[in-house]
Structure formats: C-alpha cells, structure tokens
A and B are shown apart, each in its own frame.
Chain A
Amino acid sequence: MIKQISLFLENKKGRLAHVCRAMGEEGINIRALSIADSTDFGVLRLIVDDPQKAEAQLKERGFLVTITDVIGIKVADRPGGLAAALDLLETADVSVEYMYAFLGKCGDRAMVILRLNDAAKGLEVLKRYGIEIMEESEAYNF
C-alpha cells in the first residue's frame, strides 16, 4: 500500500503555502496532491517521496497529520480507461471514498490514487481483472 500524508487545514490564508514551503525546505518532493474542503476546513492529501520524513516534519511544525494507506493504479490513458477499473469495484460492492490523479503519466498509462472503504477486497478484484497496481516505490519515485 502507498503511504499518503493526510493533513487537516483550516481555510485560512497561507496555510497551504506553509505546507508546500515546509516540504521544499526539507527537500521533500510532492508527487501528487488533492484537496477536499468544506466552508471552514479542508483535508490536504499528498503523495511524497519520503512519507515518514514528511509526517515528522509537518508534525514538528504543529500540523495535524496522519498517514493513510491508499492504492495506486495504472490505467490506459484514453477515454473510458478509468471507468473500467471503477466499474469493477462497483460490481464488487467496494466504494471509493476519494480519488485523484498523478500529474503526468507513465508511458501510455495514467496514474490514479484510490482510497477504498475495503482496500483488501478492492485490490483483489482489480488484480484479478488485470488492472495494474502501482508499487509503493513507483509512487514515491514517479
């Protein structure tokens, strides 16, 4: 499983920049990110090249951080490529809590991060039907 950094952020000016600056100062590379927000707060999710270091450094700066296990898949970079994978999960009754894509692609494949309510079952289904799963190291060093 890929270790994702999840961060709680208030919707206040400069908080997001603060996170990015901290990562820069520590020489940590951000591979993928997504933000979900409500009116008052947001959750920032990051895939970085060194999740342990990122977690420790952000905690030290007073951020509320946890590490969440997520799955990465590689799908054909063409219309309907992702839909095939999602259909499989839906049929297997595994729901996607959230998902987001990597910037750029790997060969002819697009890279997508998924957070599933049942990761074990989801992985099994995806593998069974030949969806390519990202290795941890691939995600960090993409």
Chain B
Amino acid sequence: MIWNEHAECMPREDLEALQLRRLQELVVRVYHNVPFYRKKLQAVGYEPGDITSLKDIEELPFTTKQDLRDNYPFDMFAVPMSEVVRVHASSGTTGKPTVVGYTRRDLDIWAEVTARCLYMANTDRKGVIQIAYGYGLFTGGLGLHYGAEKVGASVIPMSGGNTEKQLMLMEDFGSTTLACTPSYALHLVESLEKSGKDRSKFKLKYGIFGAEPWSERMRKQIEDRWGIKAYDIYGLSEIMGPGVACDCDVRNGLHINEDHFYPEIIHPETGAALPRGEKGELVFTTFTKEAFPLIRYRTRDITTLHDEPCACGRTTVRMEKITGRSDDMIIVRGVNVFPTQVESVLLEFGETAPHYQLIVEREGTLDKLTIEVELSPALFSDTVTELSHLERRIFHRVDSVLGISADIKLVEPFSIPRSEGKSKRVIDKRVL
C-alpha cells in the first residue's frame, strides 16, 4: 500500500528538482528569520541565492545538538510564538531538554509523513492501532496518533506502561497494529506468554516499532513470538518525530520521506560528505518545516543510504537499519569500531547479548583492544577447554565482522560497572 504515490514514487529527477527548489527557499527563510543561521551562513560567506545545485548543500555549516542547547528554549524558531501551535521536548541526559516547535502546517506535514509510514506497515482505515508510545512532551505518542487518524485507522491512544491493561484492551478491542518501542513489544509478548491468555483471541497482525535502535535478530524474535510482521519506523524529535523513514514489505532499508527531509552521509570525524553506499553519520536538512527548520543536523546515527529503485515502487532513498552512534565510535588501529557491532556479534552466541565492555589501551605505539564479556549461565560450561573455545569463537567472529583482532576476556557476571542499568561500553585508556 502506498499512501501518496505522487510524492513517494516520483521520478528521481523530478524529486531532485523539487528538493533544490525547497532547499533554496529554506536557506532564504532561515537567513532572514533565525539570527543563529544568519551568523553561521555569513561566517562561511554564504548569501541566500548562492545555492544553485543540491550539491551546494555540502558547503553549508552543520547544526549540532550543542547548538540546540545553546539556543534553548526558542531561539532557533523561525516563526513568532503566535504561529507555534505545539512544542515537544526530548529529555537530555544532562540538564535542559531539547525543545522543538510546530506550526499548524508542520503538524499537517507530520501527519502526512507518518501516514505514509503506516501504509508501509499495512495499516489503513480498516486497522485498529494501539499506540503504546508515550504521549506528552515525547514525540512518539502524538506523532503516530495524527498519522493514524489521517489514514483513518481506529486509534487507541494507550500511551506507555500499564502492561496488563494494554493486553486486556488489545484483546477486547481487537487491535490489529501495535505501535511502541521494540523493547516494549518484547515485554508485552513476554507478559502475554506468562499470563496464560490465548494468543488466538488476539487480532494483532502488524507492529510499527522505533524510537530506539534494534537489531534484525530482535525483529525476528518479536515476529516469531508475537506472530506478527514488524516494521521499523525511524525519526528523531529534532527532525520531526516518528515518520522520517520506515521500512516497506521488501525490507531492504527504510524509505526516507525525502521531499521533506534531505539525508546526507558524512564522515563522522572529518565531516566530509560521503558518496551513496558508504557508511557514515546521517545528517538531515528539513526542507519544509516552518517553526523549527534545521540545516545539516548531525543525528550521530550511523547508517548507509541506497537509491536504487525498490521493488515496492517507491523511488525515495533508503537508509539501512541504524548500526550505531558516532558518539560511541572508537578508532582502533585505523579501524572504526562501534560497540553495537560487538553487540551484534555477541548476540550470535545466545538469546540476549551479554554485558560487555571495550577497553582500548596503547602498548608502545600499538593500540590494543580488549573486549570483556560477562559470562552468562547459558554460555557457561564447566571445562576450561570449552570456555577457551568460546573465547576463540568470539575472537574469530569479531575479526571477520569488525575487521579487527581483539583480546576476548570472559569475566564474571556483574563485574562490568553499570550506570542506571546501562553499562559503559567503551573505556579508552590511550593517552594520545
């Protein structure tokens, strides 16, 4: 199902012409309305009107999360507050949240792009969608909500939590689509299995999951245990919220709603634009957002873009599932290493990834990477030979997946320090 064939299946030349026009308008708009951008553009010698091709975007300065913090709360808005009809905020790990604003038209476009994603996930007016994303300052709940109303689905605005009630209403109301984070989808199915309820009384067929990175293996787990098809929806509140991209039934990446959000891939260290097909940091420019436009916003998410035609008929560019965050990236002996890659290797050895930690040291002039892995009951065997064999198997998988040889060290459970339930993934002891 395609919600907006005109926009999603446009020939690429037409799409690029539309993007150029929108980029030119955007640069003019922010230059005149946002002092922050005017200063930044002037600093690199840019005047509105200098943009004559899409490639010129590569000359524009980046916008970072720090810029948003520095302009807290509303200084990056491009319209007066009287035009702003909604604000959302994402909780920062430290201090003040990141605030985003929407005009009436922004909300319409948000509903439009989310509607496209819901159609990719087979949810239309016949669907009953249970939205278990949080409603409130977080963009997840309300973001999905208006998209779901736009496609005409029956919306159950549950918000997050209250698992027992979620399951009761899911059964009683006959929800066909579930929208929430992938980890909550797993939690729900675990509770369902424990409750002794009869799965065949549920009508659930599809899930649209996002707001946190998840692996293909996790997708398979959700699909097998729930007996549904699971789709990956991507978005971040700075750009819009959910609805920036979603994967179709072909499953070869997430279609980006490119007429509104322009993606680029850059080298996370040098900032250089990278050609299609190369892996790097995802950067977005919002073409049409009125209240809170962003130019070349660094998402810190690591992925690869593909623009060969998709079998579903859409012509929009596809991004691979997010494989890591550039914040966490370390370079060891010239190789980019993401903790999430290590995690995916470890997942091959058991149902859930054990806790692990990467330790980088410098011995003489050489970097040395040690991966400490907490041994779990499932991996424990009581002969040293087998445990050493396990270490060697992990070593070989890390070597072939990451292209780096690392010392694998099995450690006792709970020996890797945790902060707020999450363990610190990387310890860099190098003195450079």
Q: Which residues of A contact B410 (CB under 8 A)?
A: 8, 40-41
Is the C-beta of B377 less than 8 angstroms from some C-beta in chain A?
Answer: yes
Chain A residues 58-78 with CB under 8 Å of chain B are 62-64, 66, 68
Residue of B nearest to A42 (CB): B384
Q: Which residues of B contact A45 (CB under 8 A)?
A: 382
- List residues of chain A with CB under 8 Å of any chain B CB: 6, 8-10, 15, 36-38, 40-43, 45, 62-64, 66, 68, 97-98, 115
Give the distance in Å from the alpha carbon of A9 to the alpha carbon of B388 in the complex. Answer: 14
Is the C-beta of B380 less than 8 angstroms from some C-beta in chain A?
Answer: yes
User: A63-B412, A64-B413 in contact; A36/B384 too (CB < 8 A)?
Assistant: yes
User: A8-B375, A64-B375, A64-B377 in contact; A43/B415 too (CB < 8 A)?
Assistant: no
Among B376, B382, B411, contact of A10 (Cβ-Cβ < 8 Å): B411
Is the C-beta of B387 less than 8 angstroms from some C-beta in chain A?
Answer: yes
Among A10, A38, A68, contact of B384 (Cβ-Cβ < 8 Å): A38
Q: Which residues of B contact A36 (CB under 8 A)?
A: 383-384
Overall SS of chain A's interface: strand
Is the C-beta of B349 less than 8 angstroms from some C-beta in chain A?
Answer: no
Q: Which residues of B contact A8 (CB under 8 A)?
A: 375, 380, 387, 410, 412
**For this complex, into which size category does the number of interface residues on chain B fall?**
10 to 19
Closest CB-CB distance, B354 to chain A, in whole Å?
A: 11
22 pairs, A vs B, C-beta closer than 8 Å = A6-B380, A6-B382, A8-B375, A10-B412, A10-B415, A38-B388, A41-B384, A41-B387, A41-B410, A41-B411, A42-B384, A43-B382, A43-B384, A43-B387, A62-B412, A62-B413, A63-B412, A63-B413, A64-B376, A64-B377, A64-B380, A97-B383
Q: Which residues of A contact B415 (CB under 8 A)?
A: 10
Give the distance in Å from the alpha carbon of A73 to the alpha carbon of B141 in the complex. Answer: 65
Q: Which residues of A contact B414 (CB under 8 A)?
A: 62
Closest 5 CB pairs of A and B: A6-B382, A36-B384, A62-B414, A64-B413, A43-B382
Give the distance in Å from the alpha carbon of A107 to the alpha carbon of B411 in the complex. Answer: 42
Give the distance in Å from the alpha carbon of A15 to the alpha carbon of B384 in the complex. Answer: 17
Among B376, B377, B409, B412, contact of A9 (Cβ-Cβ < 8 Å): B412
Contacting pair B383 A43 (CB below 8 A):
yes
Closest CB-CB distance, A27 to chain B, in whole Å?
A: 25
Q: Which residues of A contact B377 (CB under 8 A)?
A: 64, 66
Give the distance in Å from the alpha carbon of A9 to the alpha carbon of B409 in the complex. Answer: 12
Q: Which residues of A contact B388 (CB under 8 A)?
A: 38
Closest CB-CB distance, A40 to chain B, in whole Å?
A: 5
